[in-house]
Amino acid sequence: MRLFFSFSTPELGWISKVHVNRPAVVRHAEQIKKWRTVKGNWQAAWLLKAVTCIDLTTLSGDDTPSNVHRLCFKAKHPIREDLLKAMDMHDKGISVGAVCVYPARVTDAVNALKAAGCNIPVASVAAGFPSGQTPLETKLAEIKLAVEYGAREIDIVISRSLVLTGQWERLYEEIRQCREACGKAHMKTILATGELGSLANVYKASMIAMMAGSDFIKTSTGKEVENATFPVGIVMMRAIREFYWQTGNKVGFKPAGGIRTAKEAITWLMLVKEELGVEWLTPELFRLGASSLLEDIEKQVSC
C-alpha cells in the first residue's frame, strides 16, 4: 500500500484502508526470538554500539538532584575504564545517547553534565507523561519549560483516546503543535503501543506522528503493562520505512520499557539492521530506552 502525504493539509482518507497482517507479524516476531546471538569480539562490538544508543533514564517520583548527578556520571562513564582498556576502546569516547529525566530535573542534569565537561544531551519527558490525560495548553507549556531549562530532546506522549476513537486529524494537530513548541529540540513521540488496541492502530499512529513532524517514534512510556515488543517494533519500523520511501525523510525509532538484558539489546539492534538498514544504527536514528540495561551489558562485556 502506498501512502501520499500533503503536510500542510494532510489527507487522511487512507487511514480506513490500513490493514496489518497480525498472524504474519507475530510469526516473524517468534522467529526473531530464536535468532542466535553473536559471541566474542562481535558481541562486545554490538554491545558498545548499544551503549551509545541508550537513553539512560530515571523517571521516579523520588528523583533528587543527587541521584540525577549519579546518573549523569554513569552516562559519561557507562563502562568501566579497565574493561574499555582491555578492548582498546578507552580513548573512543564511549558514552550514552542521552540522559532522560522529568522536566523538574532537567536543570540538575544539564548542570551535572556541564560540570563533567561532556556534551551528552538531556532529554525530558513532557506533554502529560505518562498518561497523556492533560489539556493541550498544559502539554505545550510543559514542553516549552523543559526546553527553556535546557532539554535538547523532548519525549512527548500522545493522547491514546484520540487513537481509540479514530480522531486522526485531532491527533495530527496535537502532535504538530507539540513539534512547534519544541523549537530546535528534537521530538520523540511516544505512542504507548500497549494501550492502542491493535497493530493497525500502531501503524496509523506511527504515520500520523511522522507526518506531524516527529524526529523519532517511540514504543512506550515504560509505565504500561505491555511495553516494547517485537511485533510492535516490526510494525513501527515498517511504517518508518514506508514514510522514508514516500518522503525521503528519515525518522528515528526508540523501543523503550522492559529492555533489561544485553541479549535483548543486541536483538533490537539486529532487527533495526534487518528492517531499516545499517544507516539507522546510530544515536541520531536509534535509541534504547532503559534504566537497568547497562548493568547487564557491563557484565557481559567483562566475561
Active site residues: 218, 254
In the chain, what is the greatest distance between 2 CA atoms, to the nearest angstrom?
A: 57
Could you tell me if 237 and 272 are in contact, meaning their C-beta atoms sit under 8 angstroms apart? Answer: yes
Q: How crowded is residue 163: how many other Cβ atoms within 10 Å of its Cβ?
A: 23
Going 294 to 105 to 60 to 255, the CA torsion angle's sign is negative
Q: Which residue has cell 541520531?
A: 284
What single letter denotes the amino acid at residue 160?
R
The answer to whether the bond into 231 is cis (omega within 30° of 0) is no
What lies within 8 Å, CB to CB, of 254 at 6+ separation is 55, 188, 216, 217, 218, 219, 286, 287, 288, 289
